[in-house]
């Protein structure tokens, strides 16, 4: 509110506030009857009402609505009439408004000053001399002592655990970075019968299925009718495939006729393998008994593609599979990540062992690892295995990321598998591992295998999941699989993305190099 009071005009009615309307008031000794407060403006207050800058008075309404047309004591007209001053009253009111209201305004606008309630001077602290305070001190020291003992004990346990891990020396016996394919070490295994798993691919020596470039070794599956002269009609009926040495091209490495020759017949449901792929091994060239293996590889993409990095015994001294064992360092599936048994974001490590095929106890020694927000087809990973007389364990990228661990201390695998009371055809089983070694059959030389299979009837792809186009026990599962080619082929990656790419292989033998 802005006002200029002049002497000789004491009865002048105060004008209305500029900008905001406030209820009028009657001033008594510098205070309004309605408890209004005048807040001075930032301009200097003149000591004379005739000269000097004007002083702005802004009333602060304490809880009284400013929108009301009436004041607390009546209409505005009545309030205005009651606000007349005499000359002396005006002087006293103006002076009083300056003197009485400057301090409250400064206090309201200033910072709040903290007022301490701490006692001044010395005062008694009787609790300090209370003997119970000593108990608290002792309790604190006891707590600290136990904390120290706990930390020390934990450190000792961790240190002791590290000492139980065997410290072995290893000698690098083979390393391949695949600048070229070393045929002095790597051999193609060629068969058409699926290698006991009933896979639907025919492994070949064709450079379309296995080749080396700047990225590494590629093992790539292809359709038979795309990479050979065989037509779809011949694949399904009337076609022949002979890989024997006597009457065929001599590329077959199998020992049985069914592994090397086949003829398609639509009546019996027998057909030629619809897919071709490759399988390379170090058999007869490089093998280890106890040591380490590391393979840097990128997995394939596509439904029903089955990549594997694994090891088999050189001599199978305990008998046919699985008596002599099998070490699967890594197996995977090319299916999408939402495939419930595990797609291309999941890997599995397994040991196969047992007195018979039916009694294969692999389920006791299998474990998996999955990636989050990624899969094994996008970049290279290191798949490793460490093998001693006391244990076998596999790992991913680092020995700290363990996948499978199987220890051989304390009992042999015959006891671990509980085969002593097992029967087959109502006959008790014989122990195929008479060796005193607790880790038999994993106490002999094993060689390395790299392959990419497609499909199969051994259960790696379970029935009735994710619209699987064939049943494992069907009369012609391979034919049913091939009928769904328009569904699964579009899921296969382009070019070598549908295959496994191997950047490097390293094999160490346990012990110092001679």
Neighbouring C-alpha atoms within 13 Å toward the C-beta of 201:
25
Tell me the C-alpha to C-alpha distance, in Å, between residue 459 and each of 253, 304, 462, 466, 472. Answer: 25, 12, 5, 14, 7
326 an active-site residue?
A: yes
Q: How many Å is the Cα radius of gyration of the chain?
A: 46
Does the annotation count 386 as an active-site position? Answer: no
Rounded Cα distance between 164 and 306, Å, is 37
The span from the CA of 452 to the CA of 276, in Å, is 10
Q: Which residues contact 450 (CB under 8 A, 6 or more apart)?
A: 217, 219, 279, 280, 281, 295, 308, 309, 500, 502, 505
- Residue 367's contacts (CB-CB under 8 Å, 6 or more residues apart) are 348, 349, 350, 403, 404, 405
Query: Which two structure tokens, joined as six digits, stand for 153?
Result: 């004990």
Q: Cα(25)–Cα(57) distance, rounded to whole angstroms?
A: 13
CB-based contact 459:383 (threshold 8 Å): no
Beta strand segments in 326-365, E: 326-332, 346-352
- Strands 423-424 and 346-352 come out as unpaired
| Residue tagged active-site, from 189, 294, 326, 386 | 326
CA 219-222-226 angle, 5° bins: 145
Tokens of 6: 């002049």
User: Do you find a cis peptide bond into 441, omega within 30 degrees of 0?
Assistant: yes
β-bridge mates for residue 504, sequence order = 296
Catalytic residue among 189, 294, 331, 386: 331
- Cβ-based burial of 187 (10 A; exposed 0-12, middle 13-18, buried ≥19): middle
List the beta bridge partners of residue 279. Answer: 451
Pairwise CA distance, residues 479 & 367, whole Å? 32
Instruction: Decide: 459 and 366 in contact? Cβ < 8 Å.
Output: no
Q: What share of the chain is helix, strand, coil (3-state, %, to 5)?
A: 20, 25, 55
Closest to 407 measured CA to CA, from 91, 166, 111, 141:
166
**CB atoms inside a 10 Å sphere around CB 287:** 23
Annotated catalytic residues are: 326, 331
């Amino acid at each position: 509110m802005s006002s200029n009071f002049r002497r000789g005009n004491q009865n002048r009615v105060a004008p209305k506030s500029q900008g905001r309307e406030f209820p009028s008031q009657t001033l008594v000794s510098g205070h309004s009857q309605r408890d209004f407060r005048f807040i001075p403006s930032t301009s200097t207050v003149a000591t004379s009402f005739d000269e000097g800058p004007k002083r702005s008075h802004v009333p602060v309404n304490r809880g009284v609505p400013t929108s009301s047309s009436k004041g607390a004591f009546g209409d505005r007209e009545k309030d205005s009439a009651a606000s007349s001053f005499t000359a002396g009253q005006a002087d006293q009111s103006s002076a009083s408004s300056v003197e009485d209201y400057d301090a409250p305004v400064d206090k309201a606008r200033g910072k709040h000053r903290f007022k301490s309630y701490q006692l001044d001077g010395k005062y008694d602290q009787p609790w300090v001399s209370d003997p119970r305070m000593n108990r608290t001190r002792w309790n604190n020291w006891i707590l600290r002592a136990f904390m120290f003992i706990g930390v020390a004990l934990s450190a000792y346990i961790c240190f002791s655990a590290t000492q139980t891990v065997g410290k072995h020396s290893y000698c690098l016996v083979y390393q391949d970075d695949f600048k070229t394919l070393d045929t002095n070490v790597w051999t193609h295994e060629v068969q058409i019968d699926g290698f006991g798993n009933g896979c639907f691919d025919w492994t070949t020596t064709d450079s379309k299925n296995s080749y080396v470039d700047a990225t590494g070794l590629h093992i790539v599956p292809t359709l038979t009718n795309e990479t050979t002269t065989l037509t779809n009609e011949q694949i399904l009926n009337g076609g022949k495939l002979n890989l024997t040495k006597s009457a065929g091209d001599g590329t077959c490495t199998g020992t049985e006729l069914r592994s090397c020759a086949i003829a398609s017949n639509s009546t019996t449901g027998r057909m030629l393998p619809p897919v071709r792929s490759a399988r390379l091994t170090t058999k007869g060239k490089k093998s280890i008994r106890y040591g380490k293996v590391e393979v840097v590889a990128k997995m394939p993409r596509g439904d029903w593609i089955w990549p594997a990095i694994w090891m088999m015994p050189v001599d199978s001294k305990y008998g046919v599979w699985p008596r002599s064992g099998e070490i699967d360092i890594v197996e995977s599936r090319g299916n999408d990540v939402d495939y419930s048994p595990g797609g291309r974001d999941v890997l599995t490590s397994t040991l196969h062992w047992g007195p018979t095929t039916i009694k294969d106890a692999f389920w006791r020694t299998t474990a998996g690892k999955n990636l989050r927000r990624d899969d094994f087809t996008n970049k290279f990973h290191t798949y490793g295995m460490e093998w001693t007389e006391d244990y076998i364990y596999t790992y991913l990228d680092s020995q700290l990321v363990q996948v499978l661990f199987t220890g051989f201390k304390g009992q042999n695998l015959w006891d671990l598998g509980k085969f002593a009371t097992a029967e087959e055809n109502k006959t008790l089983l014989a122990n195929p591992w008479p060796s005193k070694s607790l880790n038999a059959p994993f106490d002999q030389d094993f060689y390395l295998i790299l392959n990419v299979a497609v499909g199969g009837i051994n259960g790696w792809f379970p029935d009735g999941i994710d619209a699987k186009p064939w049943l494992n026990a069907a009369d012609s599962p391979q034919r049913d699989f091939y009928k769904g080619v328009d569904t699964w082929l579009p899921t296969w990656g382009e070019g070598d993305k549908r295959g496994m790419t191997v950047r490097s292989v390293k094999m160490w033998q346990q012990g110092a190099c001679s």
